[in-house]
A and B are shown apart, each in its own frame.
Chain A
Amino acid sequence: MAVIRDLSVQGLQMLLVLLAAPGLTGFVRSVKARLLRRRGPPLLQPYRDLVRLCRKDVVLAHNASWLFRTAPYLIFAATWVAAALVPTFATGLQFSWAADLIAIIALLGAARFFLALAGMDVGTSFGGIGSSREVMIASFAEPAMIMIVFTLALVVGSTQLSTIAGYLLSTNVGLRVSLGLAVVALVLVAVAENARVPVDNPATHLELTMVHEAMVLEYSGRHLALIELAAALKLLLYVSLIACCFVPWGLAPAGAGLLAHAAGTGIYLVKLVLAGLLLALFETAIAKMRVFRVAEFLGAGLMLALLATLLLFVSQGEIQ
């Protein structure tokens, strides 16, 4: 019985993230547009784009290799699996133990690895620009992310997301300096990882400023659709990661009833809306920065996270 419920929860979760992801992206876009006093695209625009892209033919460069063609599927799959393992509305996921937080980050890393390779495959200058900048950003963002994981794991005594969420739900952890630092660092990382302003501009096609867009420049049709979807999933993943680690309230605990799950879903959607609003505000508030200042931006994140970890190491007692 429990197994079936958990399995169904897991399946629902996978569907939910898949469906909600483009919605979140669209929501952020339209809110940004509103903030800029434009009407902006309708909320469903991303879905339409995906469908249209899927219908179109794929135009491959002459020297595109098998890697170029298989990469989108791998990227999408890795991201989707990662997103499926982050508790969104319920902690009782059947396969949550298959991969802990570190593994989830590594899955995203795998997606990025192949994306960067795909960017270099055709052998154009812009692909190279995108890939090299992407790996630079990643090589600062990943350690920061790992440090954040350390902080959580030291507080909770586990790198298992559902355990983390459950722990933060059950006991009253209270306000922790290190957790606060971790939140800030996580936000910085999330902004960078999802190619948002100020690190990258998802809307730009001005060559010299692109990072993510430059890598996918050669993609078209269904491949592009998959990559866009993966990007949206990634954004959603980070939002729900922040949600489940730092505002876990409303998550349906493992073995909870149907009602709790429904409530969880609703609360989750609210969380998404809030996050979207905040992100849009943030993005409109500040300007894009030069690529080489990203190092400092993320370095700050890394330092914050390291500080958080050190605090925990030094302050004994509450470590699990």
Chain B
Amino acid sequence: MMLSIALSCPAALLALAVVAVAAARWRGASRAIYGVSLGISALALVAALTFLLQISPPAQIVLPIGLPWLGAHFRLDALSAVFLIVVNLGGAVASLYGVGYGEHEEEPGRVLPFYPAFLAGMSLVVLADDAFTFLVAWEFMSLSSWALVMARSRDPQNARAGFVYLTMAVFGALCLLLAFGLLAGPSGGYAFDAIRGATHSPLLSGLVLGLAILGAGSKAGLVPLHVWLPLAHPAAPSHVSALMSGVMTKVAIYGFVRIVFDLLGPPAWWWGAAVLALGGGTAVMGVLYALMQNDLKRLLAYSTVENVGVVFIGLGLALAFKAQNLGWAAALAATAALLHVFNHSLFKSLLFFGSGAVLSATGERDMDKLGGLIGRMPKTAFAFLVGATAISALPPLNGFVSEWLTFQSILMSPRLDPWALKLIAPAVGAMLALSAALVGACFVKAFGVTFLGRPRSPAAERARETDGFSLAAMFLLAGLCVAAGVFPGVVMDALAPAVDAIVGARMPVQAAAGWLSIVPIAEARSSYNGLLVALFIAASASLAAYAIHRLASRATRRAPAWDCGFPDPSPATQYTASSFAQPIRRALGTAVFRASEQVDMPAPGDMRPARHTATLHDPVWEALYAPIQRVISYAADRLNGLQFLTIRLYLSLVFAALVGLLLVLAIWL
């Protein structure tokens, strides 16, 4: 029942996409299409929620499409329901945002048809239950999002982004194709049930794990496969960026979980080690990249990389615990990962919406040209602030909860026997802590430079508050962030069936714990109560305010800024994004990015302004991708000579082939 609803929604979205092709040029088409996709996504969301909350058995259905002898298998179980919720919640809110934001689109014909298709693709990936359908949906998702990235293709930067993106996406899909080829075997048992039934040799499983990391990781943005992400996400229209960053990466994570936890059978401990190490590296690298950015949307994209790393840390721990038969610990780690998936989808969408509002209000993505927007767009600023606080893992918001759970599960890791894990786990813990702190710095920078201070450009001065729909979407998400932070137990209990499905164990029921607090293992061990913390902060803050306003002065005078006595009217004296990051750039960037600063100080009497330039090197690109590029273009150039031979030489090619084959025969026989 729920499955058929959940399936009909993507179908309806596809139909909508077809309609949109024709309708795109009508006025008001954008509102209509976003409105309809909002409705459809909401319906799918409700279906998935009901499925998850009334713990239903998995539902399956086979449609007579796809491979003739296979058909298209679809399945709705707890895991896919969780991700279906993430997808459609994001989709619904993004559509709501789009109702307003879509009006700014200059070429709606390039966005409207692909937007519903993109949503449909993501839902289908989550529902697919055989290798073929899965890959079709997966590639379709990439393809439609590529089209959305290319919507603004007149900017060569975006064209490059699209190229890198789709190439990486196809690379990932081919890796997954190989993985499924291994799992299905030569007989071609592509249905997931058949794969679950089969038993796989350790070597084969390890190979599949590697391919799954390559395939799903390249889509999720694991370092070093992340390069496309900071290019493609900012290039798309902001609500699509929100979907790509907040939702599509989650679909990739779903693919990883589905393959590694569900299809691949019992894990070996070193899987956990590998995934854990990757996750830790990704988290730190991602946030370091993010700190170095001046482009707001790019910063957000890199912070997505960081969060994906956090999720993979949780998944790696879950794998390790599962391999060691520590069910409850595995459940804790898996819950942490899934909760972070959910949370990140909330606040990352929120933040991208905010950046989109800023972009449409000022036309600027470069933070060094923004500033002081809190005065002109207070509502947007507030929503963005909530998002920033949440993503910085500060209590009492939701980001903190999942981070806290991840820490708690790392604290379980001494129970793991293998020495490699004993060494990796604490190191990863340190990495996680470091990245958590750096994220705080990163978003102080993002919010402070963008919204606080004084406007750094006329565009920022003329900015005005964005439209109601966008604000509604943002505040909805902000509210969800607060709610999920204050009542985390509810979400965790809802996640329990999915966790049970992937690690075969579940955490203690959180609703049982008193005062709505969450207790991972035992109250004596650790517990956290978002509600109380929130109440305490609110209470003591208002108490202080009350007391001071009652007992002491409440008078306020406005005056020019003090600034140690020499205020400078020019906004150029403010700290910019890059100068804000300078201390950290010096402390960490020199090692990672070979960051260097050149100061060009004119001689006294020289009128030209002094210049300070900071140069960064992208280690991953230079170490990995540039060489590949070089090799391919070298080979292309070399081989290209073969286009320009004389007929005689071509004939001698034929001749050589003939003689060669005859020789083979002569020797063979």
**Which residues in A have some Cβ–Cβ distance to B below 8 Å?**
54-63, 65-67, 73-74, 76-78, 80-81, 84, 95, 97-100, 102-103, 106-107, 109-110, 112-113, 116-117, 120-129, 131-133, 135-136, 138-143, 145-147, 150, 153-154, 157-160, 163, 205, 207, 217-218, 221-222, 225-226, 291-292, 295, 302, 306, 309-310, 312-314, 316, 319
Interface centre among B394, B438, B449, B545 (most CB of A within 10 A): B394
Residues of A within 8 A of B433 (CB): 142-143, 145-147
Residues of A within 8 A of B438 (CB): 139
| Structural contact, A58 and B557, CB atoms closer than 8 A | yes
In the bound complex, CA of A158 to CA of B564 (Å): 47
Q: How far is the CB of A194 from chain B (nearest CB, A)?
A: 17
- The contact of B586 among A207, A292, A309, A314, by CB within 8 Å, is A292
Residues of B within 8 A of A142 (CB): 433, 436-437, 440
Interface residues of B in 357-397 (CB under 8 A from A): 371-372, 374-375, 378, 381, 385, 389, 392-395
Residues of A within 8 A of B426 (CB): 147, 150, 306, 309-310, 313
Residues of A within 8 A of B567 (CB): 124
| Structural contact, A63 and B375, CB atoms closer than 8 A | yes
Q: How far is the CB of A85 from chain B (nearest CB, A)?
A: 9
Residues of B within 8 A of A143 (CB): 430, 433-434, 436-437
Q: How far is the CB of A203 from chain B (nearest CB, A)?
A: 16
| Structural contact, B394 and A132, CB atoms closer than 8 A | no
- The contact of B429 among A84, A107, A146, by CB within 8 Å, is A146
Residues of B within 8 A of A98 (CB): 515, 517, 527-529, 532-533, 536
29 residue pairs of the A-B complex, CB under 8 angstroms, read A57-B557, A65-B378, A65-B452, A67-B374, A77-B538, A99-B533, A100-B526, A103-B404, A106-B393, A109-B392, A113-B392, A113-B394, A113-B440, A116-B448, A121-B374, A129-B575, A132-B445, A132-B581, A132-B582, A139-B437, A142-B437, A143-B434, A143-B437, A150-B410, A222-B552, A222-B553, A306-B430, A309-B430, A313-B413
Interface centre among B393, B413, B544, B574 (most CB of A within 10 A): B544
Could you mark each residue 573-584 of chain B with 1 if its beta carbon is under 8 Å from any beta carbon of chain A, else 0?
Answer: 111000111111
| Structural contact, B429 and A123, CB atoms closer than 8 A | no
In the bound complex, CA of A56 to CA of B438 (Å): 37
List 4 tightest A-B contacts by C-beta distance, closest first: A128-B575, A123-B453, A54-B552, A135-B441
| Structural contact, A131 and B533, CB atoms closer than 8 A | no
- The contact of B440 among A99, A126, A127, A135, by CB within 8 Å, is A135
Q: Which residue of B lies closest to A145 (CB)?
A: B433
CB-CB under 8 A for A136 and B441, given A97-B517, A121-B452, A126-B564:
yes
**Which residues in B have some Cβ–Cβ distance to A below 8 Å?**
371-372, 374-375, 378, 381, 385, 389, 392-395, 400, 404, 407-408, 410-411, 413-415, 422-423, 425-427, 429-430, 433-434, 436-438, 440-441, 443-445, 447-449, 452-454, 515, 517, 523-529, 532-533, 536-542, 544-545, 548, 551-553, 555-564, 567-568, 571, 573-575, 579-584, 586-587
| Structural contact, B526 and A131, CB atoms closer than 8 A | no
Q: Which residue of A lies closest to B439 (CB)?
A: A139
Residues of B within 8 A of A56 (CB): 553
- The contact of A147 among B429, B561, B573, by CB within 8 Å, is B429
| Structural contact, A125 and B574, CB atoms closer than 8 A | yes
Residues of B within 8 A of A295 (CB): 583, 586-587
Q: Which residue of A lies closest to B548 (CB)?
A: A222
CB-CB under 8 A for A221 and B553, given A77-B537, A106-B400, A120-B449:
yes
In the bound complex, CA of A123 to CA of B372 (Å): 8
- The contact of A123 among B371, B443, B527, B581, by CB within 8 Å, is B371
CB-CB under 8 A for A62 and B558, given A120-B575, A136-B587:
yes
Q: How far is the CB of A107 from chain B (nearest CB, A)?
A: 6
In the bound complex, CA of A302 to CA of B427 (Å): 11
Q: How far is the CB of A138 from chain B (nearest CB, A)?
A: 6
In the bound complex, CA of A32 to CA of B584 (Å): 32
In the bound complex, CA of A310 to CA of B422 (Å): 8
| Structural contact, B528 and A226, CB atoms closer than 8 A | no
| Structural contact, A159 and B408, CB atoms closer than 8 A | yes
Q: Which residue of A lies closest to B529 (CB)?
A: A98
In the bound complex, CA of A123 to CA of B437 (Å): 24
| Structural contact, A81 and B537, CB atoms closer than 8 A | yes
| Structural contact, A313 and B425, CB atoms closer than 8 A | yes
| Structural contact, B528 and A103, CB atoms closer than 8 A | yes
CB-CB under 8 A for A78 and B537, given A58-B556, A65-B375, A143-B434:
yes
Q: Which residue of A lies closest to B543 (CB)?
A: A77
Q: How far is the CB of A78 from chain B (nearest CB, A)?
A: 6
| Structural contact, A139 and B586, CB atoms closer than 8 A | no
In the bound complex, CA of A276 to CA of B373 (Å): 44
- The contact of A132 among B385, B540, B559, B583, by CB within 8 Å, is B583
- The contact of B452 among A97, A109, A117, A135, by CB within 8 Å, is A117
Residues of A within 8 A of B542 (CB): 73
In the bound complex, CA of A221 to CA of B549 (Å): 12
In the bound complex, CA of A312 to CA of B545 (Å): 45
CB-CB under 8 A for A125 and B575, given A95-B532, A98-B517, A147-B433:
yes
Residues of B within 8 A of A160 (CB): 523-527
Residues of B within 8 A of A80 (CB): 540, 544
In the bound complex, CA of A97 to CA of B522 (Å): 11
In the bound complex, CA of A20 to CA of B433 (Å): 31
Residues of B within 8 A of A99 (CB): 395, 528-529, 532-533
In the bound complex, CA of A205 to CA of B562 (Å): 13
| Structural contact, B580 and A128, CB atoms closer than 8 A | yes
- The contact of A120 among B395, B448, B533, B541, by CB within 8 Å, is B448
Q: Which residue of B lies closest to A153 (CB)?
A: B411
| Structural contact, A107 and B430, CB atoms closer than 8 A | no
Residues of B within 8 A of A302 (CB): 430
Residues of A within 8 A of B425 (CB): 313
In the bound complex, CA of A184 to CA of B235 (Å): 48
Residues of B within 8 A of A207 (CB): 564
In the bound complex, CA of A49 to CA of B373 (Å): 35
